[in-house]
């Protein structure tokens, strides 16, 4: 068969090939096609949406959380559902489970910033009074400019730094570790203090609306993937499903095309690679890997798996909750109504090989008892189903030093941009980071537009 060369160049508008149809690739595609670029989106799977979307549709709830500080995610959601009904979201409290089995809320007062941060912290009963006071005074000194964050935060672990500011081992394990795991997938012992501070700041040290945690009951598919796909079709973008990019072709220091597994070559003016780092590196020409630190550093990034266990129980959900857990295989339990008479509980764990949090399907039989011991399942209620799925390389390790290996979106190659939740956005790798990275790629391309 003669290999086919597909020129997606167009005489009247510039063309862009985007590799990867996760949220980062979709955000870039959405913006660029809206700006009039001819977009071709290449996705190796039969469906868009990335790692979180499953191949076989599942009729249970797949709720996800958005924080008030996730402004790019909120803006995209609003633009996709403008005029129509916005996906229903519910504000949920943040709860911690204490060793005596009780639950404690992180308070949310509506005082103006920064007063509300200080009041919330002082009222939070999950931390012993003395430590709370010490922390609140330290936060106040930061505001006043009387104290500064140490310059070596990226070189130390979060556990080490928290200990140095007087947070006891108990507080670290009951409060800070589950919080870090929920926000970043990483635990205190392995993540850098800088990554920890950056993940906490927008949620806890910002305005009252930014600290809002909401759960969206609709799936990511319904909220983002389907409406973006629809918009792309309206703008005549091309979407290639089941299509694997295998190699980047180059001339001098520009990409000249992307080789696909089916033998075709895709050519465009611009290329956005929105793949995880493990899938990006094999595509990069050897010459660029040896020549540019930008590409070399990608091999330093490490990821680990994440496992989600979805449990359905025959019990109405009175109110959705997010409970952060300590000392168990799971770091969080998201409790939502999957049907009027059913509750869905999403238990999440990260399979960090360096941490003691691994769990496998042999533990599933014990899950009903675990839920009962946490007071989340009444003794007479029945578990309808338990479903486990592991997402490979879902969590980027934010260990000390990792920050400098997260690449910015503009690469040293003139017509190549890199997107993905794992790139340097200032956010931990989450939906917000994926969308911000995609938006930045689109903005960088648009800035280069000939006038
Ligand atoms: C268990 C779990 C729960 C989460 N829950 C939340 C949440 O509630 N809120 C939140 O903000 N964030 C959450 N996140 C994080 C968030 O979902 C991800 O960070 C984000 O979806 C990543 O998007 P991405 O586009 O960067 O990457 P990906 O989703 O990994 O997309 C990359 C795409 O590239 C495709 N691809 C790979 N190789 C090739 C190739 N050679 N050719 C063509 N295509 C290729 C892949 O198939 C994939 O579709 C969660 C993550 C996990 C793991």
DSSP string, 218-272: S-HIIIIIHHHHHHHHHTT-EEE-S--EEEEEEETTEEEEEEETTS-EEE-SEEE
Task: Express each pLDDT in 167-221 by its tens digit.
Answer: 999 999 999 999 999 999 999 999 999 999 999 999 988 888 999 999 988 889 9
- DSSP for 120-157, written as a single string: HHHH-TTS-HHHHHHHHHHHHHHHHTSS---TTGGGSB
Query: For the chain, which residues make up each domain, given as ranges?
Result: 5-62+218-301+400-447, 108-213, 303-396
Give the whole-angstrom CA distance, residue 26 versus residue 41: 8
Pocket mutation for ligand 1, best pick of 43, 48, 50 (most atoms within 8 Å of C-beta): 50
How many A from CA of 27 to the centre of ligand 1?
12
pLDDT of residue 63: 82
- Decide whether any atom of ligand 1 lies within 6 Å of the 202 Cβ: no
Please give the share of the chain, as a percent, with pLDDT higher than 90. 69
| Dihedral of alpha carbons 339, 342, 343, 348, sign | negative
Residues of the chain with pLDDT under 50: 1-2, 9-11, 354, 356-357
- Ligand 1 atom 29, closest CA: 50
Q: Say if residues 184 and 199 touch (Cβ distance below 8 Å).
A: yes
- The answer for 49, left when phi > 0, alpha when psi is -120 to 50, beta otherwise, is left
Question: What CATH fold (topology level) applies to the domain 303-396?
Answer: Polyamine Oxidase; Chain A, domain 2 (3.90.660)
How many A from CA of 215 to the centre of ligand 1?
18
- Decide whether any atom of ligand 1 lies within 6 Å of the 227 Cβ: no
CA dihedral 351, 352, 353, 358 (to 10 degrees): -40
CATH class given for the domain over 5-62+218-301+400-447: alpha beta
Q: Say if residues 225 and 53 touch (Cβ distance below 8 Å).
A: yes
Strands of 89-91's sheet in order across: 64-67, 213-216, 89-91
Name the 3-class secondary structure at 314: coil
- Ligand 1 atom 27, closest CA: 22
- Ligand 1 atom 34, closest CA: 20
- Decide whether any atom of ligand 1 lies within 6 Å of the 222 Cβ: no
How many A from CA of 99 to the centre of ligand 1?
34
Nearest to 295 by CA among 433, 404, 411: 411
Q: Say if residues 94 and 106 touch (Cβ distance below 8 Å).
A: yes
Task: Provide the pairing of β-strand 332-339 with 15-19.
Answer: unpaired
Q: Say if residues 51 and 394 touch (Cβ distance below 8 Å).
A: yes
Give the whole-angstrom CA distance, residue 174 versus residue 192: 19
How many A from CA of 312 to the centre of ligand 1?
24
Closest atom of ligand 1 to CA, residue 244: 42
pLDDT of residue 262: 94
pLDDT of residue 422: 97
Q: What angle do CA 58, 61, 66 make, to 5 degrees?
A: 125
Give the whole-angstrom CA distance, residue 279 versus residue 124: 43
Give the whole-angstrom CA distance, residue 65 versus residue 214: 6
Q: Within 13 Å and on the Cβ side, how many CA atoms surround 140?
A: 13
Give the whole-angstrom CA distance, residue 348 versus residue 253: 43
Closest atom of ligand 1 to CA, residue 67: 11
pTM: 0.93
- Decide whether any atom of ligand 1 lies within 6 Å of the 44 Cβ: yes
- Decide whether any atom of ligand 1 lies within 6 Å of the 92 Cβ: no
Q: Say if residues 180 and 199 touch (Cβ distance below 8 Å).
A: yes
- Ligand 1 atom 35, closest CA: 20
| Dihedral of alpha carbons 227, 232, 238, 243, sign | negative
- Decide whether any atom of ligand 1 lies within 6 Å of the 394 Cβ: yes
Which residues, including other chains, have CB under 8 Å from residue 398's CB and lie 6 or more apart?
184, 186, 191, 192, 195, 428
């Amino acid at each position: 068969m003669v290999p086919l060369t597909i020129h997606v160049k167009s005489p009247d508008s510039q063309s862009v090939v985007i590799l990867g149809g996760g949220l980062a690739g979709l955000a870039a595609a959405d913006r660029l096609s809206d700006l009039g670029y001819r977009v071709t989106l290449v996705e190796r799977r039969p469906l868009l949406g990335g790692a979180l979307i499953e191949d076989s549709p599942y009729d249970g709830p797949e709720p996800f959380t958005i924080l008030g500080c996730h402004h790019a995610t909120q803006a995209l959601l609003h633009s996709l559902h403008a005029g129509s009904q916005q996906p229903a979201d519910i504000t949920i409290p943040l709860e911690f489970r204490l060793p005596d089995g009780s639950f404690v809320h992180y308070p949310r007062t509506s005082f103006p910033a920064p007063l509300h941060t200080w009041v919330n912290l002082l009222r939070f009963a999950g931390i012993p009074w003395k430590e709370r006071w010490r922390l609140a005074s330290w936060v106040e000194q930061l505001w006043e400019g009387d104290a500064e964050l140490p310059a070596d935060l990226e070189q130390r672990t979060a556990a080490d730094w928290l200990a140095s500011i007087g947070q006891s081992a108990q507080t670290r394990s009951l409060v800070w570790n589950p919080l870090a795991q929920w926000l970043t997938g990483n635990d205190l012992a392995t993540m850098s203090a800088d990554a920890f501070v950056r993940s906490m700041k927008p949620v806890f040290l910002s305005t009252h609306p930014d600290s809002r945690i909401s759960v969206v009951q609709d799936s990511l598919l319904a909220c983002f993937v389907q409406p973006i796909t629809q918009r792309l079709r309206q703008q005549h973008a091309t979407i290639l499903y089941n299509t694997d990019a295998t190699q980047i072709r180059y001339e001098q220091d520009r990409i000249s095309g992307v080789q696909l597994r089916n033998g075709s070559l895709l050519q465009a003016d611009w290329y956005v690679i929105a793949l995880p780092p493990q899938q990006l590196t094999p595509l990069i020409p050897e010459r660029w890997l040896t020549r540019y630190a930008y590409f070399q550093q990608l091999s330093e990034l490490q990821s680990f798996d994440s496992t989600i266990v979805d449990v359905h129980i025959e019990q109405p959900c009175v109110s959705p909750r997010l409970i952060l857990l300590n000392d168990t295989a799971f770091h969080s339990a998201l409790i939502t109504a999957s049907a009027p008479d059913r509750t869905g509980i999403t238990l999440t764990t990260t399979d960090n090989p360096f941490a003691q949090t691994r769990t496998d399907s042999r533990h599933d039989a014990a899950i009903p008892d675990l839920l009962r011991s946490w007071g989340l399942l009444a003794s007479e209620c029945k578990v309808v189903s338990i479903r486990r799925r592991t997402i490979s390389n879902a969590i980027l390790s934010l260990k000390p030093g990792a920050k400098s290996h997260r690449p910015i979106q503009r690469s040293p190659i003139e017509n190549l941009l890199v997107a993905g939740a794992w790139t340097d956005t200032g956010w931990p790798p989450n939906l917000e980071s994926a969308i911000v990275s995609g938006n930045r790629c689109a903005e960088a391309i648009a800035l280069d537009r000939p006038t």
